[in-house]
Amino acid sequence: MLELLNLQELRLKNKELKKIIVIGILALAFFLILKPQEPKFSLSTIEVDSYRLSVYSGSSLFISSNVSLILNAINHNKVGIRYSPSCLNLYYHGIQIGVVKIPGFYQPANSDNVGVITKISLHCINVSQIINEGFLQKKASKKVVQMKLIGDIRVQLRLLHLTMPKMKVALECDIGINYAELPFENYELFNKEVVQEHLASLPVNSGSFSKNCTLALYI
């Protein structure tokens, strides 16, 4: 009886090994034949949906806000890419400060103009702490705030009429905000309308924002 169980277990392991080998061969063939490129996303529009300033302990200033970003998705691959709805976490100095919600959408092959509305919820950011660390200090040698965006995204590739199984991709982005190029003064942070007006006036290719992202496929 024990030998029979061991034999069945061995067969299951062999099946799993064969499956992994087949997936690896298909993935290798995909990369060699199609030579995929990383999809690109550029910022099109920023809109402040809600904005609240709060003061705690008499001096500490906190900001909570909901922001909508319209991104332009570019896919120069020979395959279409379908994204499932995703929720990513935004960190500052290792502390979670917000959540980024991305809707499900589809990027056709060789496409340039797919608009994606992304929602960002920022909750109780300690502005006083950021200011003390040099966020809005004019004497700072490098006026850039570094944040990190981390999360998982499920994608499906579509080639002609064939849809591949879903894959999970780990995303990690280093995001930099150069506040020296933001056009408002410190006191204007207290006025939502002024903040919205300044953000809306930023050019699409503004140097105020930068990102460096890495992708890793779960096996």
Q: How far apart are CA 100 and CA 82, in angstroms?
A: 18
For the CA atoms of 201, 204, 210, 216, the dihedral, rounded to the nearest 10 degrees, stands at 140
Residue 80 in contact with residue 113, Cβ under 8 Å? no
Q: What is the predicted pLDDT for the residue at 33?
A: 58
Task: Please check the confidence at residue 2 and state whether its pLDDT lies above 50.
Answer: no
CB atoms within 10 A of CB 101: 13
Q: What is the predicted pLDDT for the residue at 86?
A: 93
Which tens digits make up the pLDDT trace of 84-101?
Answer: 999 999 998 888 889 999
Which tens digits make up the pLDDT trace of 23-68?
Answer: 666 665 555 555 667 778 877 777 878 877 777 766 677 788 888 8
Give the strand pairing for 144-159 and 80-83. antiparallel
Q: What is the predicted pLDDT for the residue at 25?
A: 63
Residue 218 in contact with residue 168, Cβ under 8 Å? yes
Q: How far apart are CA 74 and CA 72, in angstroms?
A: 7
Q: What is the predicted pLDDT for the residue at 159?
A: 80
Which tens digits make up the pLDDT trace of 179-192?
Answer: 665 555 554 555 55
Q: Report pTM.
A: 0.69
Which tens digits make up the pLDDT trace of 135-175?
Answer: 555 555 556 778 889 999 998 888 877 787 888 888 888 88
Which tens digits make up the pLDDT trace of 97-123?
Answer: 899 999 999 999 888 888 889 999 988
Radius of gyration of the chain (CA): 23
- Six-digit token string for 8: 């069945």
Phi, psi of 6 (to 5 degrees): -65, -35
Q: What is the predicted pLDDT for the residue at 88?
A: 93
CA pseudo-torsion sign 195, 200, 206, 209: positive
Q: What angle do CA 161, 164, 168 make, to 5 degrees?
A: 145
More confident residue, 22 or 119: 119
Q: What is the predicted pLDDT for the residue at 85?
A: 94
What residue ranges do the domains of the chain occupy? 38-218
